[in-house]
Amino acid sequence: METVEMNSVSLKRPRSEDDVANADEIKRQKILEKPKAGNDSGQSIENPAEQTEDTKSEIIPNEESEEQEEEELEDSDEDGDAESFADMMKHGLTESDVGITKFVSSHKGFSGILKERYSDFVVHEIGKDGRVSHLDDFSVPVDDEVNFEDPSEETFTVLSDEDKQRLEELQLFKNKETSVAIEVIEDTKEKRTIIHQAVKSLFPGLETKTEDRDGKKYIIAYHAAGKKALANPRKHSWPKSRGSYCHFVLYKENKDTMDAINVLSKFLRVKPNIFSYMGTKDKRAITVQEIAVLRITAQRLAHLNKCLMNFKLGNFSYKNHPLKLGELQGNHFTVVLRNITGTDDQIEQAMHSLREIGFINYYGMQRFGTTAVPTYQIGRAILQNNWNEVMDLILKPRPGAEKGYLVKCREEWAKTKDPAAALKKLPVKRCVEGQLLRGLLKYGMKNIISAFGIIPRNNRLMYIHSYQSYVWNNMVSKRIEEYGLRAVPGDLILKGATAVHIEEGDVDNYTIHDVVMPLPGFDVIYPKHKIGEAYKEMLVADNLDINNMRHKIRDYSLSGAYRKIIIRPQNVNWEVVAYDDPKIPLFTTDLDKLEGKPLPVLPTDGKFRALKMEFSLPPSTYATMAIREVLKMDTSIKNQTQLNTTWLR
């Protein structure tokens, strides 16, 4: 993770994937050399710090030093006496724990390793027009109208580190100064223009003027519109003929979308909320997606390519609209499954089945967290209005994939129930646990609802959505078990946005690919057969009323929705390749192509085999569930950890 020091714009460069692999190998050897009683598992290649959706948090303005410290801690491997990740994951969730139990294909399963390297999993966004996003152009568009804000290359180097620090402190109101004076050493009009341009381009919200002081020329920087200028980029310097939003393609490696936005916003010195996008993408992957940003020039964005590791920005254009969540048509996946054991015939059967039948549209494991306290349990407690249990589930000690400092924080909480004491054990305070403890300090132990409300809204809602997903997974498994792969009377189909039941005489008009099932919530209907009753029984067992999913706190009222039972991927292609070196990439990425890297040369008789597969999926479906159907094996981190360990031996 990049650690950005805003006053001098220094960058902690992350290790390359090979460096990470080498470091992991050293750790694995240490683990393998250490005797274990009754356990032969070692260190996993999977990243133990990989965030689930419920642990993402927003950047807190004006706390850069704390963010730097936290980011370093989040990337640190020094977890004290914490268990190895592989040992910890023996407490993790398996697919059956969250209702994922059925398959739809008849082929024999085989073994393979998913995401051994993050570069084995590549995602390209598909826009609402059906166009697949690719990074294939670094050029900057030329306007008919010359804009003063468009920075030249010299703009980024004309200011000293000391100037940048003073200007940043002025911009962020970190001191009582009302202006900053920068002496013009080489006094020419051209030099003064570049300094004016640099200040305005790099520090939104600041204006400049030239003054003579004691026979010397100074550029004076000052605030034009108070604190509002930080949130609202200047409008007067933006050409009227140019669209207000700069759209670009973001290529990123091993970073989730919100983390990437936070890094970009810190380098540009703007707030993250001026960025928009159509969907979030995996962390442990290479992903390519479209981003839009309000009134930031392509020149400024393109300059970041020289500053940042594991990010590239390109395909710039100016448009009059932002992007909206959910506008995308889907995602195209390129996936490598390494060290496969299936015969050529098994692989052919599996991939033909994926193309012709599809897979059960389960919510994937990342929806439910990685520790012994699944996120759906917290969601259920919220819906039950049981706030003491919500607090306990988030803060109590648990086995699982945890950083050492989180373990110490939980132990302190269990011992003292003192939020201040527990918070002192937690250097990373932007995590959910830290935010809840801050809330308890602010509002007190008797006002857990308000304390919980400090956690960003999207993160809070993820808990109840996780519960919805848990119910849906269990119910779709039961639906497949009871009725198989055919439409039956009482099933639901969508007509437009409305769900209707299939009547006895209409069954032959529909297939399993037309059938949907509800996510529990208000204003939804349920199947008119055994599964409708099963929904009610499951919610009654959880002390919830299926007919009244409205919560006294509006945010936690569950609105219902419908989801297809079976998804049939589009554009399915596959190839079996042989290789000898586990570190060698097995295909070229967009960045490889831009940089002119040749295709990897693979042996025809390598000692290992890999399945390289491509397919497209609609939004809100999980590629891991498609891969699960191919392999017929558990895709949980718990299971993959054991596979990776065995494979590396």
Tokens 């718990």 -> residue:
638
Structure tokens at 297: 């020039």
Residues in the chain: 649
Instruction: Please say whether the beta carbons of 535 and 490 come within 8 A.
Output: no
pLDDT in the model for residue 52: 32
Instruction: Tell how strand 113-114 and strand 330-338 pair up.
Output: antiparallel
Question: What is the Cα–Cα distance from 399 to 391, expressed in whole angstroms?
Answer: 17
- For the chain, give the mean pLDDT: 82
pLDDT tens, residue by residue, 416-444: 999 999 999 988 777 899 999 999 999 99
Calculate mean pLDDT across residues 10-15: 29
pLDDT grade, residue 42 (50/70/90)? very low
pLDDT tens, residue by residue, 559-591: 889 999 999 999 999 999 999 988 889 999 999
pLDDT in the model for residue 576: 95
Buried b (16+ CB within 10 A) or exposed e, 393-415: bbbebebbbbbebbbbbbebbee
Q: Which 3 state secondary structure label does DSSP give 180?
A: strand
pLDDT in the model for residue 9: 24
Q: Backbone phi, then psi, for 99, in 5-degree steps?
A: 85, 5
pLDDT grade, residue 152 (50/70/90)? low
pLDDT grade, residue 86 (50/70/90)? low
190 contacts: CB under 8 Å, gap ≥ 6: none
pLDDT tens, residue by residue, 213-245: 888 888 898 876 555 544 444 444 678 889 999
- Can 282 be counted among the known catalytic residues? yes
Tokens 């049981």 -> residue:
386
pLDDT in the model for residue 613: 97
Buried b (16+ CB within 10 A) or exposed e, 481-509: eebebebbebbbbeeeeebebbeeeeeee
Please list the helix, strand and coil fractions of the chain in percent, rounded to the nearest 5, in that order.
40, 20, 45
Q: Is the pLDDT of residue 79 over 70?
A: no
pLDDT in the model for residue 21: 40
Structure tokens at 472: 């849906």
pLDDT tens, residue by residue, 316-327: 999 999 999 889
Calculate mean pLDDT across residues 74-100: 62
Catalytic residue among 120, 256, 282, 590: 282
pLDDT tens, residue by residue, 142-151: 765 545 455 5
With CA atoms as reference, report the closest residue to 436 among 450, 424, 446, 425. 450
Q: Is the pLDDT of residue 600 over 50?
A: yes
pLDDT tens, residue by residue, 470-517: 999 999 999 999 999 999 999 999 998 899 999 999 999 999 999 999
Q: Is the pLDDT of residue 22 over 90?
A: no
